[in-house]
Structure 1
């Protein structure tokens, strides 16, 4: 992100500087460098205003998610997907702690609980490494787990909905059906890619000086949540849940615009009723989660300022308009407007950078959050993941240096996420 930020700023300054040299004053048109300076100040102020507008909505959603988490929704979802996980990861013993950690990680990602997902993901990698005969080399299970993570299995993109609401969207939850379709498509491709690519990246035999360590299948002391994730519902229950999810996708495609105004009220009522039925003190727990939402909204201010200033400079310099004009005739034919290209390119590289670009696009009066482009970039943010960050954190936690086919599978999932997001938005707007 350091290099990307520097490149964007330098490109804007150099392009505006070149225009300043050949600038001919005419009327009240500001000089290029004056426009660049004004854009810097306005973008910084706009970033803070946007973050302040996010406080209320982020507080609401994290409060609701805290109620769902306290009621055991994470455990219920984990038990639903565990029978499928056992079949996806045949190399991992069904009762090994790695299986429980992976199940909880994917369940937390599905509910949009990013802060809870990362610790479970690191724990999963550490447990998978205990099954690894060659430390420092990614196993097939590690590569598949990372590919599924980067495909971003998301059922409830709360952060994106909050940002859209802060941008003045008339229907912030309109992205739920498109995100659901896109994330299922990218996850399916991630699984197929990881399974297919592993044939072309076999684990090499150990070299001299390296230890071929025995597999450690012992089970260390586990937390209560990991132990709960070791249980599962019968396979038919999981299949029934998948069928219900598929029916939701079909209903979203057919009746998405009619159903979307109902989504947020029903989510709030549903989560609170769920918590009450599970004997959760919903008001107290909601307030605890809301406090965290307030802190999260304030923490993102520096990131928003940095990226929005950089993008504002690029736009004010004219460099972004030049790039958009050159690419629009090509990408527009495939349903990907040139205005959305920076988002598609940034998402695998930087989560905060993509978040800032998303904010700048949906807050642009010429685009807005409810246009095709606004819904598309929102879907991209909700249905794809920061690939290189996830790889660095998860593989770094177990000191894996030879990642084999993991990056190829993850990037394939990213490309699939973009394609399915375009297809989903095209279907929805059609």
Structure 2
């Protein structure tokens, strides 16, 4: 119901502001601009949705290959000890673990389009075991915080955009983004853990978080030794190489399991 009022408010506020501009500022073009903008942004919304649909279809297909080939189960087991403590309401080795892991990995590589479908898949899988369908579960809240805090090790998308707009040094935001997103993720994790009474002093949690901190620190030190051009080149190569390696690994694993990869991809895309 709240969204209903918010949606109506958009139009009412726009109408009132347009009237003010017309009456007090003699802006006779304002209503023409207002109507034109509704059509322009309707088209923009459709184009964004269409593009996202294609990306969703692609990655849902890959995730189905990973699922049938057993890679989701492997990822779930690898991250299971940590996730079972951060998401105690989820059953052990729940399918959402694999989707969450892939989502967080894509976010770390700055590949937002790849992360989105996996995040949606994870939310859907968690909703299946949510006892209260009309409100977010603790697991969904924790995942949402980890997702939106967005630990980004290689901000590839931002560097590409900066390069397209001819920034002097497209890669000079690398270290600030790494530091900012690392601390935002840690603060978000700790805050939610306190509210949900999750024990962060658990040895397993400390081991995973300590290991992640050490890896980030090592990467921070190593990449800080590169100049801007080298940093951009290495970041582009590493992010895309890792992403395509994931895809090939999914397919090879599925072939070993004698899965019809193409049919699995089509099945996933239809979802």
Q: 1:190 to 1:289 in 2, by over 3 A?
A: same
**Alignment RMSD, CA only?**
4.7
How much does 1:60 deviate?
Answer: 3.1
Q: Indicate how the Cα distance of structure 1 residues 79 and 288 shifts in structure 2: closer, same or farther if over 3 A, else same.
A: same
Q: Which residue in 2 is equivalent to 1:274?
A: 250
**In 2, are the aligned partners of 1:67 and 1:286 still within 8 Å (CA)?**
yes
Could you say which residue in structure 1 is the equivalent of 2:265? 286
Residue equivalent to 2:41:
43
* Alpha-carbon spacing, 1:259–1:108, altered in 2? closer, same or farther (3 Å): same
Alignment of 1:31-430 (within 5 A): 31-86=29-84, 98-100=90-92, 104-112=95-103, 113-122=118-127, 124-126=129-131, 143=138, 145-153=139-147, 185-197=183-195, 242=212, 246=216, 250=220, 254=224, 257-262=232-237, 263-264=239-240, 266-279=242-255, 280-292=259-271
How far is 1:247 from its partner? 6.3
Calculate the TM-score normalised by the size of structure 1. 0.40
In structure 2, the gaps of 5 or more residues are: 104-117, 166-170, 198-203
Residues 149 and 249 (structure 1 numbering): CA distance in 2 closer, same or farther, change over 3 Å?
Answer: farther
Go from structure 1 to structure 2 and tell me whether the alpha carbon gap of 1:267 and 1:278 turns closer, same or farther (over 3 Å shift): same
Q: Is the 8 A contact 2:123 2:140 kept in 1?
A: no
- 1:43 Cα deviation from its structure 2 partner: 1.7
Is residue 72–residue 98 contact of structure 2 (8 Å, CA) maintained in 1? yes
Unpaired runs of 5+ in structure 1? Answer: 130-141, 200-233, 293-430
Distance 1:244 1:270, change over 3 A: farther
- CA distance in structure 2 between the aligned counterparts of 1:178 and 1:58, rounded to whole angstroms: 30
Q: Could you list the per-position Cα deviations for residues 190-216 of structure 1 after superposition, in whole angstroms to 9, with x for gaps in the alignment?
A: 4422444568xxxxxxxxxxxxxxxxx
Residue in 1 aligned with 2:17? 15
Structure 1 counterpart SS, 2:267: helix
Deviations 1:323-361 (A, max 9, x none): xxxxxxxxxxxxxxxxxxxxxxxxxxxxxxxxxxxxxxx
Larger RCO: 1 or 2 (CA < 8 Å, sep 6+): 1
Task: Determine if contact 2:90/2:129 at 8 Å carries over to the other structure.
Answer: yes
* Matched pairs, number: 225
| Partner deviation per Cα, 1:162-214 (whole Å, 9 max, x = no partner) | 9xx9x9x959xx99999887665444324422444568xxxxxxxxxxxxxxx
Output the CA distance in 1 between the equivalents of 2:254 and 2:99: 19
